[in-house]
Chains A and B, each alone.
Chain A
Amino acid sequence: ETGVTQTPRHLVMGMTNKKSLKCEQHLGHNAMYWYKQSAKKPLELMFVYNFKEQTENNSVPSRFSPECPNSSHLFLHLHTLQPEDSALYLCASSRSGEAQPQHFGDGTRLSIL
């Protein structure tokens, strides 16, 4: 149990569908992150939230829309995705502040048909 729970674990969707990924952390952290992990590539940071405010958008296409209603919950809303968006999407959390280690969930494996 990592303290960071992601649902669903697997998601298959068509390019015209709309779906959402959910992340919940039970560690009392104030910063939350979305990463994309593709085969043979380093983890790519997508979004950062600190105390519910978005502080980083790493040039992510608008078909990915994050939402952070509170410090414990993070969502990633998906619409009109492309086949190249198929990947493992990881959520992480940390204490707020410099150089705090990040704790990851087990990810959502997303497949776009």
Chain B
Amino acid sequence: QKEVEQDPGPLSVPEGAIVSLNCTYSNSAFQYFMWYRQYSRKGPELLMYTYSSGNKEDGRFTAQVDKSSKYISLFIRDSQPSDSATYLCAMSGNSGGSNYKLTFGKGTLLTVNP
């Protein structure tokens, strides 16, 4: 079983739709959860960063973590064509050292159609 599973899509939605992106994971030691957005020919850009279970909201974006189900989600409200990108989930547990390793999903390609 892969450590992090993420449906690669592609996902195509009309402008204004609510988008739900998800990842599941198997390592119960993961405590820190991130979502990155990657535009074509660009590097990943940190969107959301959460610790443990719960919700975090930032503008049109909401990140949810359910550690009991080992499931994380990113919701995008009122989606815009500029949201078209690949969305990567990433997570980490206590490394016990001075750095930490991120384990990434494969990414979901999202297209928002005007």
Contact = CB atoms under 8 A, between A and B. Distances in A.
B26 to A, nearest CB: 14
A90 B44 CA distance: 9
Interface size on A, as a range, is 20 to 34
In the A-B complex, the 6 residue pairs with the closest CB atoms: A104-B43, A42-B104, A99-B32, A43-B104, A106-B43, A104-B44
Nearest to A43: B104
B106 A100 contact: no
B106 A42 contact: yes
The CB with the most chain B CB atoms within 10 A, among A4, A102, A103, is that of A102
Interface in A46-96: 48, 50, 55-56, 90, 92, 94, 96
A45 B102 contact: yes
8 contacts: A92-B43, A96-B99, A98-B100, A99-B92, A101-B34, A102-B46, A102-B102, A103-B46
